[in-house]
Amino acid sequence: MTTKTAFASLILALLADAASAQQAPNNTVAVQDKTQSSPRLNPVQARADRLSNQMVRDLRLNNYQATKLRAINADKVAKMAAIERRNAGNQRLIDEQCNGVCKERDQELQAVLSNEQYSSYFGSRANYYKYDKDFASQSASILLTNAVQNPAPLRANDASVAPASTRPVSRPAGNLGRNAR
């Protein structure tokens, strides 16, 4: 009986080892979620999310208010980014038009926030505007540097498009054709 149990345990050990060898190895590479845009590809959305997160923390918003605020900020930050691109170099015009967008945001937030929250927001508007502008100026240079240093794959099969390597053209000197004598 002892040899039968030893033989059975040996067979079970071999089967368990074979089953573990057939399992896929642990892959440490994180798979990117293709449904979510990356900040590198959509810096305006990253900018709006950062501002919204700060406002949600400071104003202590509930989920309903936070959702509405995120939608408002996404719209307004996209408008401000378009203004900044369109009027690049003319800071006075950018500030003037962005203040108009901020007034639109004020009116929309007044309908979402409580009186106490809106008073707190209204007192901190300049801080939020500066917070957003600082991030926009920093992220633009950071994104440009990252895009140059780490170009994104441009095709679906994740192949990078790069300059083709050039081979030196080597031609034999003289006439080596059929009629060479």
- 4 assigned to some structural domain: no
Start-to-end CA distance of the chain, whole Å, equals: 93
Tell me whether residue 11 is in a domain: no
**Could you tell me if residue 106 is inside a domain?**
yes
Short-list 118, 123, 136, CA closest to 51: 136
Task: Determine the structural domain holding residue 136 and report its residue range.
Answer: 43-148
Q: What's the per-residue H, E or C state across 33-98?
A: CCCCCCCCCCHHHHHHHHHHHHHHHHHCCCHHHHHHHHHHHHHHHHHHHHHHHHCCCCHHHHHHHH
What does the block give as tokens for 144? 């440009």
Domain contains 95: yes
Q: Write out pLDDT tens, residues 103-149.
A: 999 999 999 999 999 999 999 888 888 888 888 777 655 555 555 65
List, for residues 17-62, the tens digit of each pLDDT value.
Answer: 665 555 545 545 555 555 555 545 577 888 889 899 999 999 999 9
Residue 157 is assigned to a structural domain of this protein: no
pLDDT per residue as tens digits for the range 155-167: 555 555 556 666 6
- The answer to whether residue 109 sits within a structural domain is yes
Residue 16 within any structural domain of the chain: no
Question: In whole numbers, what is the pLDDT of the chain averaged over residues?
Answer: 76
Residue 70 has pLDDT above 90, yes or no: yes
Domain annotation covers residue 28:
no
pLDDT band at 4 (very low <50, low <70, confident <90, very high): confident
Q: Looking at the 3D structure of the chain, how many domains does it have?
A: 1
pTM for this predicted structure:
0.56
Residue 170, helix vs strand vs coil: coil
